[in-house]
Amino acid sequence: MQNHRSIPTGGCFVIKIKVPELMHKKGLNVTDLMRRANIAYPTALRLSRAEGNAITFDVLESLCKLFDVQVKDILEYVPDKK
């Protein structure tokens, strides 16, 4: 499932949020993500939609633990092709 969105960063690159793909692999919904990662519902909802423009280290750490992955598996830097 390659249904993740890109976040424009204002520069010549984007950051892709890959949480929806990870959620799909584990069969999680937004409420599951909120409870298991111990994050606020609005945060879980934004991440499940691959939306947002920032993430705290606490949330990032929770996601890494929940999905048993590294940061690079949650966020991906993609240089602009221009």
Domains located in the chain, CATH noted: 11-79 (1.10.260.40)
pLDDT tens per residue across span 32-60 = 999 999 999 999 999 999 998 899 999 99
Contacts 24+ apart (CB under 8 A), 18-22: 18/50, 18/73, 18/74, 18/75, 18/76, 19/47, 19/48, 19/50, 19/63, 19/74, 20/47, 20/48, 20/49, 20/50, 22/63, 22/67, 22/69, 22/73, 22/74
Res 11 pLDDT > 60:
no
What share of the chain has pLDDT > 70, as a percent? 83
